Structure formats: structure tokens, C-alpha cells
Amino acid sequence: MKPFAVIGASSGTGLALVKLLEKNRLPVRAISRKPRAASEFIEPFAADVTDIESISKALTGDFSAVFFTVDIHGFNSRATVRKLMYQGFINTIQAAAKNKTPPKIVLLSVIGSEISSWVWWILNAMKPGMQKNIIDRENALKESGLAYVICRAPKLNDDIKNLTPISASSPTHKLTMNMGISRENLARVLLKAAKAAPENTTWDIIPDKDKSTLGWL
Ligand SMILES: NC(=O)c1ccc[n+]([C@@H]2O[C@H](COP(=O)([O-])OP(=O)(O)OC[C@H]3O[C@@H](n4cnc5c(N)ncnc54)[C@H](OP(=O)(O)O)[C@@H]3O)[C@@H](O)[C@H]2O)c1
């Protein structure tokens, strides 16, 4: 079995995904600047996506899929946010494309990046340029020639008991504070997306109030 690669593996959704892969006895290269401990199925790999050589080394190999779940915290300049959230992703897809068999890229994105909302206004104030970076990196992936699935998430929480049904829906939803899902739940969807979502598609991953889970999910 070819390993998966998770970038942004030391916390949040990336860590939840690494734990899920381990639970399913699936090998994973867990990539971040400060990776966590190794186990039978986890290969920790220290790399920084803002450094093309570093992420190229981390992505050398034959992978089932590469998940990108990196995020930035605290108050940062527009240039710093761009360097990580956009250029870090560009470095990642360029590195992945160098492999003999380029892997499928599963990008964890954010819902409603084309729709104005006061939540985006706040996010852009906290992380300058965030909305544009989210749009630009989705477009870059679509134009990269690599196989991809984009999963757009609403507000995330760590309510591990809340594994209410969620659905993969058309990417038309607005980002609000009223809609949220847990990182554990999202990790399950990302793995399913890597295995079963149609190639080169974009989805909003949202709570499924009608419990009418559709299609590949
Ligand atoms: N928070 C939300 O409500 C929300 C909503 C929708 C979508 N999203 C998206 O979901 C994704 C994950 O968010 P999260 O809150 O679950 O994750 P998170 O806990 O913030 O984790 C971010 C990860 O990125 C890694 N990282 C940061 N800088 C890095 C670098 N230069 N090179 C390599 N790795 C780096 C961190 O590890 P190290 O520090 O060890 O490097 C960490 O593992 C983000 O892309 C975000 O845009 C979030």
C-alpha cells in the first residue's frame, strides 16, 4: 500500500487525519515543521512548506494522495500570510508534480470564498489577504494538471463526540458563524474524498440536517 502524506500533521485536522489513518492501519508520512512521534504506521517528517527544497524532500516518494491542511495563527503581515497560505501550497504542488507518478492532491479549503460575508471581513482583518489566498490557491490547483479534490469546510470545532452526518455538496454556500463541523468528522471526509470522490472536483463539506448523505460520501 502506498503511503499517504499529510502536510500540517501536528495539530488540528491534519493530526486528526494522521490518527485516523493510523487507526485504519494505513501508512502515512506526517509532515510539519515540528512533527509528532513515530509509530508503526506514522513516519514523522520535518519540513517547512515555505521552503521549496524542504517540502520537495518531504514529498519525494510514491504516495496514494497528499493532503494539505496547513494554517497560520496570530497576527501576521499580508506578505507572511501569502508566503505560507498561498506560496506554501504552490511549493507543495510543484514538489508533488516532480514525482514519477504525481499523487492526487486533497486541498482543505474554506467555503464561500467567492461570496462576500462579514465572516470573511473578520478573517481578512485577522489574516490579511486570506480570502484572496484561498481563491488563488484553488485556481492554481485546478490549473496544475495534477489530479485533485478540493474540500471546502465551514467553521471547525473540536467536538469529538459530535460526529453528526455531514454531506459533500455543491460549492455554493456562504461562510457564516452558524454552520460548523468537527475536525474529526472532516478528517473522515478527507480520507473518503481521497479514495472515492470524482477526480478534479470541488465540494462544500457541511452538516447534513436531512441525513441524506449523497454520492461518494
Ligand atoms: N479554523 C477554521 O474554522 C477553519 C474553517 C475552514 C477551513 N479551515 C482550514 O482548515 C485547515 C486546517 O485548520 P486547523 O485549524 O485544523 O489546523 P491547525 O491546527 O491550525 O494546524 C495547522 C498545521 O499547519 C502546520 N504548519 C504551519 N506552518 C507550517 C509550515 N510553514 N510548514 C509546514 N507545516 C506548517 C502546523 O504544524 P507545525 O507548527 O508543526 O508546522 C499544524 O500542523 C486550514 O487550511 C484552514 O484554512 C479552517
At 212 the pLDDT is 63
Provide mean pLDDT across the span 42-48: 98
Q: Which CATH number fits domain 4-207: 3.40.50.300, 3.40.50.720, 3.40.710.10, 3.40.50.10490?
A: 3.40.50.720
54-109 tens-digit pLDDT: 999 999 999 999 999 999 998 899 999 999 999 999 999 999 999 999 999 999 99
* Residue 154 contacts residue 66 (beta carbons within 8 Å): no
Average pLDDT of the residues in 144-149 = 98
Asked if 123 and 130 count as a contact pair (C-beta separation under 8 A), the reply is yes
| Distance from the Cα of residue 71 to its chain's centroid | 9
- What does the pLDDT look like over 172-214, one tens digit per residue? 999 999 999 999 999 999 999 999 999 999 999 999 876 665 6
Residue among 69, 67, 45, 65 nearest 57 (CA): 45
User: If you write DSSP's letter for every residue of the chain in order, what string do you get?
Assistant: -PPEEEESTTSHHHHHHHHHHHHTT--EEEEESS-----SSEEEEE--TTSHHHHHHHT-S--SEEEE-----S---HHHHIIIIIIHHHHHHHHHHTSSSPPEEEEEEETTTTS--HHHHHHHHHSTTHHHHHHHHHHHHHTS-S-EEEEEE-EEE--TT----EEEE-S-PPP-SS-EEEHHHHHHHHHHHHHHSPSSEEEEEEE-TT----TT-
Give the nearest ligand 1 atom to 130 CA: 47
**Measured from the CB, is residue 190 less than 6 Å from ligand 1?**
no
Residue 8 in contact with ligand 1 by CB distance below 6 A: yes
* Residue 78 Cα to ligand 1 middle (Å): 17
Ligand 1 pocket, 44 CB below 6 A? Answer: no
Tell me which residue has its CA closest to atom 30 in ligand 1. Answer: 48
Q: Indicate which atom in ligand 1 lies nearest the CA of residue 10.
A: 43
Judge if the beta carbon of residue 33 lies within 6 A of ligand 1.
Answer: yes
The finding on whether 186 has its CB within 6 A of some atom of ligand 1 is no
Global pTM? 0.97
* Residue 135 predicted with pLDDT over 80: yes
At residue 69, the pLDDT reads: 98
Sorted by where each begins, the domain ranges of the chain are 4-207
CA of 180, closest atom in ligand 1: 3
Q: Which of 32, 157, 179 to mutate to test the pocket of ligand 1 (most atoms within 8 A of CB)?
A: 32
Per-residue pLDDT at 30: 98
